[in-house]
Amino acid sequence: MGGLGADGPGALEISGDAPVLASAYQVDAAAAAAVAATTLTAGRLWHARGGPAPRAYVDVRHAALAFRSERYLRIDGEAPPVWADLSGDYRAADGWVRLHANYPAHRDAIVRALDVPAERARVAEAVAGRAAAAVEEAVAAAGGAAAALRTPAEWAAHPQGTAVAGLPLVEFERVGDCPARPLPAADRPLGGVRVLDLTRVIAGPVAGRTLAAYGADVLRVGADHLALVPALVVDTGFGKRFTHVDLRTEAGREALRALIRGADVLVQAFRPGALDALGFGPAECAALRPGLVYVSVSAWGQVGPWRQRRGFDSLVQLATGIAWSPAGRPVALPAQTLDHGTGWLAALAAMEGLRRRHVSGGSWHARLSLARTARWLDGLGRVGAAEPPAEPAFPQDLVSRMDSAFGVLDYLRPPGALDGYVPGWVTPPHRPGADPAAW
Q: What is the mean pLDDT of the chain?
A: 94
Q: How far apart are CA 270 and CA 255, in angstroms?
A: 18
Rounded-to-integer distance, Cα 164 and Cα 300, Å: 8
With 0-12 CB in 10 A as exposed, 13-18 as middle and 19+ as buried, what is 210?
buried
Into which CATH architecture does domain 2-81+163-305+331-418 fall? 3-Layer(aba) Sandwich (3.40)
Strands 417-418 and 55-59: antiparallel
**318, 364, 372: which is closest to 341 by C-alpha?**
372
Lowest mean pLDDT among 7-11, 222-226, 385-389: 385-389
Neighbours of 313 (CB within 10 A): 25
Q: What is the mean pLDDT of residues 271-296?
A: 96
| pLDDT value, residue 19 | 86
Long-range CB contacts for residues 83-86, cutoff 8 Å, separation at least 24? 85/120, 86/110, 86/118, 86/120, 86/123
Q: What share of the chain is helix, strand, coil (3-state, %, to 5)?
A: 35, 20, 45
Q: What is the pLDDT of residue 273?
A: 92
pLDDT at 383: 84
CA distances from 74 to 237, 370, 407 (A): 14, 27, 9
pLDDT at 387: 56
Question: 337 — phi, psi (to 5°)?
Answer: -65, -35
pLDDT by residue (tens digit) across 85-105?
A: 899 999 999 999 999 998 899
Arithmetic mean of pLDDT, 231-249:
97
Residue 4's pLDDT is 82
For the chain, domain boundaries: 2-81+163-305+331-418
Q: Euclidean distance between the first and final Cα of the chain, in Å? A: 32
Per-residue model confidence as pLDDT tens digits over 26-57: 999 999 999 999 999 999 999 999 988 878 99
How far is Cα 50 from Cα 185, in angstroms, rounded to an integer?
5
* Integer Cα distance of 378 and 30 in angstroms: 10
Instruction: Strand 88-92: give its sheet, edge to edge.
Output: 88-92, 95-100, 145-148
Q: Give the distance, in angstroms, between the CA of residue 367 and the centroid of all CA atoms in the same chain.
A: 12
Q: What's the pTM? A: 0.96
Query: Hey, is 148 helix, strand or coil?
Result: strand
Residue 61 has what pLDDT?
96
Report phi then psi at 333, rounded to 5.
-65, 155
Contact between 204 and 267 under an 8 Å Cβ cutoff? The reply is: yes
Which range, of 178-187, 383-392, 395-404, averages the lowest pLDDT? Answer: 383-392
pLDDT classification of 389: cutoffs 50, 70, 90: low
| Percent of residues, the chain, with pLDDT higher than 70 | 98
pLDDT exceeds 60 at position 186: yes
Instruction: Please give the Cα distance from 89 to 149 (Å, whole number).
Output: 9
The beta strand positions in 129-250, using DSSP E, are 145-148, 171-176, 194-198, 217-222, 240-244
CA–centroid distance for 232 within its chain: 12
**pLDDT score, position 41:** 95
Radius of gyration of the chain (CA): 21
User: What phi and psi values does residue 264 have, to the nearest 5 degrees?
Assistant: -105, -35
CB 253 within 8 A of CB 279: yes
* 273: nearest Cα among 309, 323, 227, 239: 309
Q: Residue 297's pLDDT is what?
A: 98
Confidence of residue 382 (pLDDT cuts 50, 70, 90): confident
